[in-house]
Amino acid sequence: MSSSLVRIEAKGRCFPFVAEPKSAALLKQLSRTPKLTGVTAASRLEIRPAPETASCGIAQVDALSGGLPRGCLTEVCGPESSGRTSLLLSALAVATRREEICTLIDASDAFHPHSAAAAGVNLERLLWIRCGVNSPSSLLAHKRRNTTSLEEWERRRREDPVEQALRAADLLLQSNGFGLVAIDLAGVPLKTARCIPLTTWFRFRRAVENTPTVLLVIGEQFCAQSCASLSLQLRDSVLSSRFSVLSEHPSSNGHDSCAEQRPSHTELLSGMEIQAEVLHSRTERKPAQSVSTAFQTKAAWAG
């Protein structure tokens, strides 16, 4: 049976349409419609190729996540002493060894240069931006006596370290040419980090797209949500389990009797056992259940 054209009138406009269409004929017909010229059918959209990945310097995490995706936003979260900064330094060390130019936007001015040097970061290739300090413009505004409330609000907004970090990230991502841009929001209060608009993360994701830059964000909680291509949750497994036992069954004076027997100077912080979990990955199919791995860090003096 040959297909016959019918005319559908909607709001005074006529659209040629096919009655009892075959799919190919329908697509062909639609493609001739002037307004739909250049529109690709959803069924014919190409699958986005998997992004190139870069090693983060920790074999276990690379095996778990496939590495840090380039041109994407990666979020690493965890509480204090969960190994976020260790992972960041490791990623910076590997990137600088690849002779890439890296940037660390430090919202809480917490970066410890000697730790970075011990981790193997080439400091000459690392641009460190320390936020949350008095900028020249804010100093000038301070000196002006007759500032209005709006100017005062604007001054405070500029002095906000998170605001400074986001603006600096915006500028750097527009510059291109960086191998790794890291935003350290780990020391930022949770309330402030949650107030970052989602549009900011969308803008960052868009800016870094189709570039070889790895955008890495570390924090206490996930802020970028669906804008992140990879979300990693970290926690210190061994310390937590070991000390939780201690805290549940403390000795009479709150101290471990065994530990008391040893002088404290014989103890040494040799490292941490970190557990990493992939919570979200755009590059791979969602795992049926939570996938995690563990790795160990070593103290700089542990040899």
Partner 1 sequence: MPYACIFVPDFPVEALLRAEPELRSQAVAVLEGKPPLQKVFAVNEKARRLGIDPGMTKIQVEPCTELVLRPRSPLQETAAHAALLDCAQSFSPRVEDTAPDTVLLDLSGLESLFGSLPEIARDIARRTSDLGLEANVATAFNPDTARFAARGFAGVTVVPEGKEAERLGNLPLEVLFTELISPNPTEEAVRLLETFDLWGVRNLRALCALPEIALSERLGQAGVRLQQFARGAISRTLVPVDPPLIFEEAMELDHPLVLLEPLAFLLAHMLDQVCARLAARALAAQELRLRLELDTGFHFVEDLPNATTHVRTGALGSLQRAESRGPGRAPVRQQNAADIALELTLMHSSKFIRTLQLPVPMLDPKVFLKLLQLDLKAHPPDAPILKVHLSAIPAQPRTIQGGLFLPPTPDPEKLELTLARIAGMVGEDKVGSLHLLDSHRPEAFRMQRFVPTEAEGQKEKPDDVSSAPVTALRMFRPPLRATVTLREGKPAHVVCSKRKEVQGEILWMAGPWRSSGDWWEQDGWARDEWDIAIQTPVVSRRSSVVSNALSLYRLVHDLLSGGWFVEGTYD
Residue pair 94/57 in contact (Cβ under 8 Å)? The answer is yes
C-alpha 21/C-alpha 201 separation (Å) is 44
Pick one of 7, 136, 148, 258: the residue that binds partner 1 (CB under 8 A): 136
Q: How far is the CB of 33 from partner 1 (least distance, A)?
A: 43
Of 12-20, 170-178, 197-205, 283-291: span binding partner 1 (CB under 8 A): 170-178
Alpha helices in the chain (DSSP H): 23-32, 59-65, 84-97, 113-119, 136-143, 149-159, 161-175, 190-194, 198-208, 237-248, 257-261
Residue pair 54/94 in contact (Cβ under 8 Å)? The answer is yes
C-alpha 249/C-alpha 267 separation (Å) is 21
Task: Report if residue 245 touches partner 1, rule: CB under 8 A.
Answer: no
Nearest residue (CB) to partner 1, 49 versus 136: 136
Q: How far is the CB of 43 from partner 1 (least distance, A)?
A: 36
Pick one of 51, 179, 196, 292: the residue that binds partner 1 (CB under 8 A): 179
| 105 class by beta-carbon count within 10 Å (0-12 exposed, 13-18 middle, 19+ buried) | buried
Task: Report if residue 53 touches partner 1, rule: CB under 8 A.
Answer: no
Of 7-15, 23-31, 43-51, 248-256: span binding partner 1 (CB under 8 A): 248-256
Pick one of 68, 87, 183, 232: the residue that binds partner 1 (CB under 8 A): 87
Pick one of 18, 66, 71, 97: the residue that binds partner 1 (CB under 8 A): 97
Amino acid (1-letter code) at residue 45: L
Of 18-26, 31-39, 44-52, 87-95: span binding partner 1 (CB under 8 A): 87-95
